[in-house]
Chains A and B, each alone.
Chain A
């Protein structure tokens, strides 16, 4: 337990870093059990704004996100945040995951109260300072505060799927991350929840880069300034949103848009 306390009370790297982070991938490749998942992926993220990662199923989008916060470690190549190789992250991989937070497609709330879920990732020391204010701010940022403010002590499992997804967002925001990774954050959500999450993301993207995997091309158009199109583990095209949806350069991109039922105009 002493070891645990030492680790959790260690100051987070995120707190010592500059506020805005940039992310660069060079030649990222991933092969799992003889199957190539990612091939020489190179891309970079701006210091703020939403970048949407789109492509057919099995293109390697989710795997790419998992590589970025080291949930998947079997990759080769280089990933740098502010010119710092993430494999040599000074405070270790746990600190990196607080710096670059991944929110999964399926909301995974812990079997504790709503309020406890929000502060679940914080150290004991962090929990002691301004706990109530922190919970309120994070829930507001995730557009959930108005719906749960009178039932913060209720089990988080009682929330709807859409609310649980926003709670996961609030929980991630409590860590004050500098980069946000989202894996289909609004898949299987109702239109109202989708709208609320999108609004939150737009606000958050003013101060941090957000990389969002989505199959919803309309959403990608609404949200992002930049689109990265992936297919078969490769980045096929990177373009600003308007250009990509109106005049895609690559044949694969055009095919993908043609097969999608999205109204791209």
Chain B
């Protein structure tokens, strides 16, 4: 290889345009052209840009949210922003070129969101894909527009959904919601739009659509009624709940029927009335349709509870209206005092008055004015005895003071009133209730509570609890004492002794002895009386012999008994009779013999023996007297004892409550008392028997 560079022949270059340019430059140029063409084509195929203003964005996203027409995408939101002043959301939508011309000034746009309603679930696809904007326009190219007001809800009538457009007027508070169905024999033949309040505010207007294929079902005698909610009826067949469908139960619904044939065709825009139920709807066919009600004011002097809003207003027993509002009114100027009066507003439906000519509020007012002049008055009357509800009655009052149905401008005409008629039954019932009301139940209960409290305190007293036991033991002792043979033997011994003494005394006519005996007798009588008094006091004694217990223990009854017994013995000894039973009979003989002996011994010294005997007898009598003197003391002691027991029991009585123990005690006392009583009665019947033994 030689590094000799070959000779280079240099020739003048012919400068031709682009002769030095490489062919490869075609490629970038081609690319440029292609890019320009694509750009142009892209721009050329773009549709118009429209702006739709919505109240709320509801999830619209630029570049994602689509505009759909009949569920086909015809545009995309390019930009989301706000209108001037942030008043609303504006979405700029790039339309497809082919639909652009159709989006004219009659187009409607709304945002489709998932919605769960009684009629079903709509827009479910938007849960995953996000919301989209649905557009609706007709198939005619109309006036151009590029700014639209988006609506918040789908239009009632969508393109291609022709039908009969009617409207409903309702005064009831029907729960009609958007898209509530209009059913006919259970089949949905239309739907209801959004309810609006009529400009005057006295009823609601609802737009509705009857689908095209059901248009012939409606004529001008068709009556619509509300099937919202459900009705419950209880009859011989049992309880019955009736509702049309779940949808109407929740969202409300309307159904209709044509009760009479021969109605004329209806055109779009006809206004129908919605009746609350089928019966009303049926009846309305034969009566004049209701017009604007006549509002009246009625002022009653008395404010009687029981009148409520919605209470009927009746004329001759026929309901012609209802109470609209209740309020109190104080008007010194008008009534002359400051009493609160009942002011009610009633609305009267002129159609119910059956006026012959034009049916309107004015004609009804004129009619009522005429009637008021001839004595028509309003009064409150009982509507129901059970509930005490009241109604307003319009009645003819003969000889009523002159009055007119007048009203100031700007207020309702005031209907004159007359005396209220409350039914007697209501008044009676009211009286009964008043009386029951007035019963001092509170005080009674308080007293009872107090009584029970003190009774409880008393019964729970320790002393008192011990009392019945003490009383019973005392009484059993007492009973044992009384029923002891010694005591029971006392009268017998006494009798026997005293009999002898009496016989002796009577026979020998010994003055001093007799006097002493007399003293003894009176003392015994006193004792007996005391016993009697005691016995009389037994019922009260019965209750209480508690304190007796202690004293009864120390009572000297035993001593008494032994003393008496000793006395008896000494008496026996004094009398010295060998045969006690034969003594009375033989005494006379003995005395005769004594007399004889005395006569015989008048000259002898036998008298001295007699004197000695008598002295002995006197001593014996003295002893008896001494004993007798002790008896009243014993009796007194017993009396005190019983009195004390009586007091105790009296205190016990105050408790007004006897425990079972006390009751058994009482029975014991009763027994003791019976024993005492029988003893006492014996003595009382014949006090002398104590001495005489008879």
Decide whether A and B are members of one complex.
no
Which residues of B pack against A, CB within 8 Å?
none
Listed in ascending order, the chain A residues whose CB lies under 8 Å from chain B are none
